[in-house]
Structure 1
Amino acid sequence: MDTNRIISKTLLIALLMTGATAFPQTQLENMLAGPYAQTIEGTADGKAIAWIVNKEGVRNIWHSLVSEPAPVQLTNYREDDGLDLGNLILTADFLIYTKGNGNNRQGYPANPASLPSTPQRILLRMRLSDKQTDTLATASSAVLSPDGKSLIYPSKQGVYLIPDLSVARAKPKKLFEVRSGAGSLTWSPDGKAIAFVSSRGDHSFIGQYQINQQKIQWVAPSLYFDEHPAWSPDGKKIAYIRRPGQGKDELRNIMGGNPFTIMVADADGNNVKAIWASPGDDGGFAQYYPNDPLRWTRSGKILFSSEHQGWNHLYAINPDGSGLTDLSPGQCEIENSTLSLDETSVIISTNCGDTHRRHLWRSNVQNGQTERITSGKGIETDPVALEGDAFAFREGLYDLPTGVVLQNGNGKHRLTQIEDDFPRDAFTEPVPVQFTAADGLTIHGQLFLPDTAKKDRKPGLIFMHGGPIRQMLLGFHYSGYYANAYAMNQYLASQGYVVLAVNFRTGIGYGRDFRRADKQGPRGASEYQDILAAARYLQSRPEVNPDKIGLWGGSYGGFLTAMGLARNSDIFKAGVDLHGVHDWSWRARDFSPGGAWGIGKDLMELALESSPVNDLSKWQSPVLLISGDDDRNVMFGQSIDLKNRLDALGVYNEALVFPDEVHGFLRHESWLKAYEASADFFNRHLKD
């Protein structure tokens, strides 16, 4: 091993951390500098909206009326402190929101800026008339009452009520507590009861608390997981989703599925009826991926998601089980949706008609008739129905970060402001491509081409998303993690790389069978052949130097980066691995039972064989490992272990570590430093 070389490269990383770099960074900084809209919420009457903007790690909340669109900044935070904002609740008089991060397994909130005093996540109240703000509680979420006057929120000690939001220095009142806690809090329409879910590990119950009677009633307790309670409009019944309880030796597998049933019961737990059952194991993803897995509309329909036709669709059904209606247009996926204020129609974000983007469709919940209401090159998600025919949504373009758009009778209004110096002209419009894996499966991707005026062959880079339940798109992504990755791919293209973002099997957007592909991940890593197919595609292009192909990605993309370097250093000449999984069997033993992929004792040997560390004898190419040491998704030790193994083999590697950072970095500074180091690494190892 060349010790002097390792010392010199370590010094370079240290210089990068302090801002002294070997190449210009202005463009990268600018490409990552655009304001990114995280979320939108509207008032119950649809007259106003609020949204969160992350600008270079500084998060603030904005506000606008619907009738007279004019963005107003409500908060005035100024630091890239990594403290997230979320859980917006907007009324005519108040803004409620949380500030701070959740706890890790040891009970400590994320503190990526290493602030001397670790801040807890708190629930804040702002009076809109004068922006006066105070802290209501230490809490992670809250639910507004139907009359808009009260809040409830869960904590470890129970469920609490803030009776009157208008009262200064309001003191929370403890309503009730249950063993294992209460989640999915849902007010009854009259505000006199609260439905909740009590998770018991291998099963869960639906309960309801009668506020005036101070009494808990259980709704048809069983040997199942009962989840997602939804009140009938008259408050007399509760619909919920039922799936099998956890049996002996069963392990959670996020890539699997489960049978599920739509249940309806009297609120007191009597007269329980199953109104619809999935024909197969069509649940799981259909319940945890879209927002609002179950809704009971004022127009008398129950809405739910299912994959029983091979795609994640939204369905409407009558409370007696009749009239099942598909509200989704065609062989495509729905992601999130919002009901109109009168709850007779729903606006859906979907890739119907445009696989590489998201657009909005409106569907009538009574007859399922659909119409497309947005189109073009935008990526439109997270619709919010407002007064009249108005609606708001998040939209990203290929050269414009995700912002908030309001559409009303006067047209389309982009409310997220972009500075004049944002370098839109530096972005290249990616093009959709497809190629075929060795087993015949068609794989899609997005190709970023640099300036081709120079005829020299350029190095190629393959980007792989994480998840793996994700899909990269032809523009700024609706997830902040992948919006940053998209900007990085754009930057790499501007620096003379041909970049291919691969939507490998196990991702979303292409149906249930694609997502649940055979022999995936720890069961054989079948998706790796898609990365080899991507490499062959790049090597076949006239712009690409076939001997200069690199890999980069985070999380699952980090796993595939390490797989490529371990199995095919003859093809892949350098890689950047952000917080990747390198040993599936270790994850299954020490991260969580089964590693969230259902890896039991019978799969341990195959899981190891499907891991990069199983055989490092062919690994010759250099790698940069990047991780935060408060990662809650992938064990930090996975990177330590891989580095130790590579050091023992004399394989050149570098490491960049962010103390107290989490999996999806919470600080803009962390992203910028990680990408600076990545670009420099590729420049040194892929460019002559």
Structure 2
Amino acid sequence: MIDFGLGKLRLWSAAAACAGLFMTQAAGTHPAAFTLSDVMQAPFPYYMVAAPTGAAVAWVFDAKGCRNIWVADPSHGAKARQITPYTEDDGFDIGELAWSPDTTSIAFTRGQSLEDETPANVNNSPKGPMPKEVWVVATAGGVPHKVGAGDSPSFSPDGSRLLFVDKKRILTVAASGDGEAQPLLIDQGTVDSLTWAPDGKRLAFVSHRGSHSLIGVYDFVDQTIVWLSPSLDYDSSPAFSPDGARIAFVHVAEKAPPEYFSQRSGRPWSIWTADVKTGQGRRVWIADAGPGSVFHPTISANNDVPSATNLFWTNHDDLVFPWEKSGWLHLYAVPVQGGTARALTVGKFEVIHVVFSQDRKRLVYSSTQDDTDRMHIWTVDAEHGSAVRTGQSHAIEDLPQIGADGALFALQSDGDQPLHPVVLSAGEQWRRLAPEAIPSSFPSSKLVMPRAVTFRAKDGQETHAQLFLPRETTSKPHPAILFFHGGPKRQMLLGFDPKRTYSWIYAFNQYLVAEGYIVLSVNYRGGTGYGLDYREADDLGPGGGSELNDLLGAITYLRGRQDVDSHRLGIWGPSYGGLMTALGLARASDALAAGVDYSGIHNWSTYEPIDGADANRRAVESSPIATIDQWHSPVLLVQADDDSVVPFQQAAELIEGLRSHNIDHDVIMIPNEIHDMARYSSWMMLFNAADVYFNRHLDKRSAPAP
């Protein structure tokens, strides 16, 4: 511990924190009905993918940091089973599952970071950082076989070979994974989006070259590459025609704006088709000017849904795609020959995750239609439209998959039920696939059901949130904690989240409520779920920090509640939520007793390059660091030092400012961890530390005696 007098810095390593040096329990006044370990014990399911034949489905379970692949075949009534043998919370993640055509094996990517191409060393191995690797395991179970360094495995349609990517190379190996992988091609750019022709004779891919991206088609017979209508723009989402003779793709004629700057309109994007033999292409459709002119993909395309794309070629020669023409992300269809796009989904909601049936006739998607704070599964006919909701329930359903036999799978959760894999039964009810995986000691009966609330931001904007109220009744007002998610392109829901990070955070917020805190989880501007104008809000982030209005409105809302002790308000959040935490402490310190900031952005001007003196000045003014002289509440900073999303220097810069202004702060640094922390123990360390910090600081700042 290093003591700087009035401005105290207590610096702890993760090891010291986990050993209990930091987390000596304060004399709290909020006994919980269950432990943090109790509510964090349920395995988290993700990366569900249906088999190409039959009715089987596979997914990954993360059980306290130990990731394994599970398989179920509900058509035969077989019990779900684990097929990989991993046993440790070692930081190794699993993703990108790919079934072999005969369903006897599954290829997958395993690595200590699936965030990007940078190798990580989360488990502190003396051997140093480990690259992502492709593995193959038999669906009957057994010892997985390592294929080689790389990711994005994909079996050929005839099952004879397995392809995968290693940065600029596409490699090929026998489908069994035996033998040494050989380069199929070596490209100038970084390769992704491997897409097979229906007959398996050609392979489309995207080559990212920094200033532009191209779509190439590799011919296995001629061993040649054809580039599709190449330009200096950005092409993506290749989709083969049913006969394999043509490919449709998305064409964006300008570089994407900086991630945290709002842009509602721009140079219109378009859809093209090209001949796979000649590469000659033509424009089929172009977006209208105004709303929707900037291409915005569905979340599916961010590796949340296996083999997802933003473009679907139907069996009757329509192209289906996402578009924000109405100010909401919906599905549209346009004839391959060209024409006017027609809406397949309509309303004030957003399409989130989308998958396409094997017969190219229907799309299955999740959306918040008719239920703003929950997602449900819908199907729509690709030719005629008319969306229909499947499996009526009051729970949350997301990340759908369609089996080869038409069966529908999803991941389901609720306010008191952790996420679990389900299949739609003949009676239109969702049935759990692995109910035994959730421990009987999971405290479902002791959790609270959050309520959907709205309040007015300081500038009058309506803001959505989830309010968690303790079960206990007391005559005294409760301390309260504001939570802000990261992103900011996220939406928190009325239940356990389909994203792992936010599912665990939801569990922690439930634990805080069990201790007697009121928790308000705020879906502030810049987030998804509420339309284009809300996501691309005016003056957002480095452009003015308008999201501060939602934070100030949330404080006013809590202080106006009779069940809240307005003298004991805390605030916390990860990533962009860390920025919101720091922004609150720097702009409304009189109203906030303490904060916990995980991996927050603290100075926009040093976070990313900003062109122009005026824009740079505004970015600084929009940052917490700009008003640190108004900050006097204590803060706990937690930072992973191998964070490639929010660099460690952001925390270091804030610490220097806190030191120079004698502001009480504590720091936990986690060596070798990544942004979305890979180890369960790291999350438990963060949550335990935050819990003790709030108990310590909110307990001693109670309301003054009358």
TM-score by length of 1: 0.93
Aligned to 2:593: 573
Q: Deviations over 1:147-185 (max 9, x none)?
A: 2332222224521222x414x623323222221243222
Aligned to 2:304: none
What code does the residue aligned with 2:403 have? L
Matched, 1:113 2:160: no
Question: Is contact 1:452–1:543 with CA below 8 Å preserved after alignment?
Answer: no
**1:398-477 superposed matches below 5 A:** 398-409=415-426, 411-416=429-434, 417-477=437-497
Matched, 1:614 2:626: yes
What code does the residue aligned with 2:332 have? Y
Paired residue secondary structure (2:297): helix
Q: Distance in 2 between matches of 1:130 and 1:575?
A: 46
Question: Is contact 2:467–2:519 with CA below 8 Å preserved after alignment?
Answer: yes
Question: Is contact 1:348–1:383 with CA below 8 Å preserved after alignment?
Answer: yes
Q: Distance in 1 between matches of 2:111 and 2:381?
A: 39
Q: Distance in 1 between matches of 2:298 and 2:350?
A: 14
Question: Is contact 2:192–2:207 with CA below 8 Å preserved after alignment?
Answer: yes
- For structure 1, which runs of at least 5 residues remain unmatched after alignment? none
Matched, 1:584 2:604: yes
Paired residue secondary structure (1:489): helix
Question: Is contact 1:96–1:125 with CA below 8 Å preserved after alignment?
Answer: yes
Q: Distance in 2 between matches of 1:227 and 1:7?
A: 51
**1:150-165 superposed matches below 5 A:** 150-156=161-167, 158-162=169-173, 164-165=174-175
Q: Rate the CA distance shift 1:240–1:273 in 2: closer, same or farther, 3 A.
A: same
Aligned to 2:95: 86
What code does the residue aligned with 2:18 have? M
Matched, 1:67 2:75: yes
Matched, 1:673 2:682: no
Aligned to 2:19: 18
Q: Distance in 2 between matches of 1:126 and 1:15?
A: 38
Matched, 1:348 2:365: yes
Q: Rate the CA distance shift 1:13–1:115 in 2: closer, same or farther, 3 A.
A: closer
Question: Is contact 2:226–2:279 with CA below 8 Å preserved after alignment?
Answer: no
Paired residue secondary structure (2:35): helix
What code does the residue aligned with 1:570 have? D
Q: Rate the CA distance shift 1:190–1:530 in 2: closer, same or farther, 3 A.
A: same
Q: Rate the CA distance shift 1:422–1:363 in 2: closer, same or farther, 3 A.
A: same
**1:355-394 superposed matches below 5 A:** 355-394=372-411
Structure 1 range deviating more: 53-62 or 179-188: 179-188
Q: Distance in 2 between matches of 1:251 and 1:7?
A: 36
What code does the residue aligned with 1:552 have? W
Aligned to 2:516: 496
Task: Tell me by how many angstroms 1:489 deviates.
Answer: 1.0
Q: Distance in 2 between matches of 1:201 and 1:109?
A: 21
Question: Is contact 1:219–1:268 with CA below 8 Å preserved after alignment?
Answer: no
Q: Rate the CA distance shift 1:136–1:600 in 2: closer, same or farther, 3 A.
A: farther
Q: Distance in 2 between matches of 1:466 and 1:459?
A: 23
Question: Is contact 1:13–1:677 with CA below 8 Å preserved after alignment?
Answer: no
Paired residue secondary structure (1:182): strand
Q: Rate the CA distance shift 1:12–1:338 in 2: closer, same or farther, 3 A.
A: closer
Q: Distance in 2 between matches of 1:391 and 1:268?
A: 36
Paired residue secondary structure (2:296): helix
Matched, 1:185 2:185: no
Q: Which has the higher contact order (CA 8 A, sep 6+)?
A: 2
What code does the residue aligned with 1:415 have? L
- For structure 2, which runs of at least 5 residues remain unmatched after alignment? 302-308, 701-706
What code does the residue aligned with 1:95 have? I
Aligned to 2:38: 30
Q: Distance in 2 between matches of 1:570 and 1:77?
A: 49
Q: Rate the CA distance shift 1:83–1:146 in 2: closer, same or farther, 3 A.
A: same
Question: Is contact 1:565–1:621 with CA below 8 Å preserved after alignment?
Answer: yes
What code does the residue aligned with 1:294 have? L
Aligned to 1:221: 230
Aligned to 2:208: 199
Matched, 1:256 2:259: no
Equivalent residue for 1:548, pick from 556, 563, 568: 568
Matched, 1:289 2:299: yes
Equivalent residue for 1:479, pick from 491, 499, 506: 499
Aligned to 1:53: 61
Identity, in percent, stands at 35
Q: Distance in 1 between matches of 2:279 and 2:659?
A: 65
Question: Is contact 2:262–2:539 with CA below 8 Å preserved after alignment?
Answer: no
Task: Tell me by how many angstroms 1:48 deviates.
Answer: 0.8
Equivalent residue for 2:112, pick from 101, 109, 124: 101
Paired residue secondary structure (1:286): coil
Structure 1 range deviating more: 216-225 or 614-623: 216-225
What code does the residue aligned with 1:678 have? A
Q: Distance in 1 between matches of 2:369 and 2:245?
A: 37
Task: Tell me by how many angstroms 1:283 deviates.
Answer: 5.5
Q: Distance in 2 between matches of 1:216 and 1:487?
A: 50
What code does the residue aligned with 1:110 have? A
Paired residue secondary structure (2:498): coil
Q: Rate the CA distance shift 1:558–1:67 in 2: closer, same or farther, 3 A.
A: same
Q: Rate the CA distance shift 1:140–1:361 in 2: closer, same or farther, 3 A.
A: same
Q: Distance in 2 between matches of 1:343 and 1:14?
A: 52
Aligned to 1:661: 673
Q: Distance in 1 between matches of 2:445 and 2:583?
A: 35
Question: Is contact 1:223–1:245 with CA below 8 Å preserved after alignment?
Answer: no
Q: Deviations over 1:420-460 (max 9, x none)?
A: 10111221100011011122211010000013411111111
Structure 1 range deviating more: 87-96 or 16-25: 16-25
What code does the residue aligned with 2:72 have? S
Question: Is contact 2:111–2:133 with CA below 8 Å preserved after alignment?
Answer: yes
Task: Tell me by how many angstroms 1:198 deviates.
Answer: 1.7
Task: Tell me by how many angstroms 1:275 deviates.
Answer: 1.4
Q: Rate the CA distance shift 1:147–1:11 in 2: closer, same or farther, 3 A.
A: closer
Q: How many pairs were matched up?
A: 675
Question: Is contact 2:577–2:597 with CA below 8 Å preserved after alignment?
Answer: yes
TM-score by length of 2: 0.91
Paired residue secondary structure (2:593): strand
Task: Tell me by how many angstroms 1:102 deviates.
Answer: 4.3
What code does the residue aligned with 2:551 have? I
Matched, 1:330 2:340: no
Question: Is contact 2:574–2:597 with CA below 8 Å preserved after alignment?
Answer: yes
Task: Tell me by how many angstroms 1:298 deviates.
Answer: 3.1
What code does the residue aligned with 1:17 have? C
Paired residue secondary structure (2:378): strand
Aligned to 2:703: none
Task: Tell me by how many angstroms 1:279 deviates.
Answer: 1.0
Q: Distance in 1 between matches of 2:58 and 2:195?
A: 22
Q: Deviations over 1:626-657 (max 9, x none)?
A: 11000011011111111121111111000111
Task: Tell me by how many angstroms 1:323 deviates.
Answer: 5.9
Q: Deviations over 1:297-344 (max 9, x none)?
A: 334321111111100111222211236332224210011112223221
Q: Distance in 2 between matches of 1:203 and 1:157?
A: 15
Question: Is contact 1:389–1:408 with CA below 8 Å preserved after alignment?
Answer: no
Structure 1 range deviating more: 380-389 or 622-631: 380-389
Equivalent residue for 1:141, pick from 114, 138, 152: 152
Question: Is contact 1:630–1:659 with CA below 8 Å preserved after alignment?
Answer: yes
Q: Distance in 1 between matches of 2:405 and 2:13?
A: 58
Q: Rate the CA distance shift 1:104–1:32 in 2: closer, same or farther, 3 A.
A: closer
What code does the residue aligned with 1:484 have? W
Structure 1 range deviating more: 280-289 or 488-497: 280-289
RMSD between superposed Cα atoms in Å: 2.3
Question: Is contact 1:203–1:245 with CA below 8 Å preserved after alignment?
Answer: no
Question: Is contact 1:333–1:352 with CA below 8 Å preserved after alignment?
Answer: yes
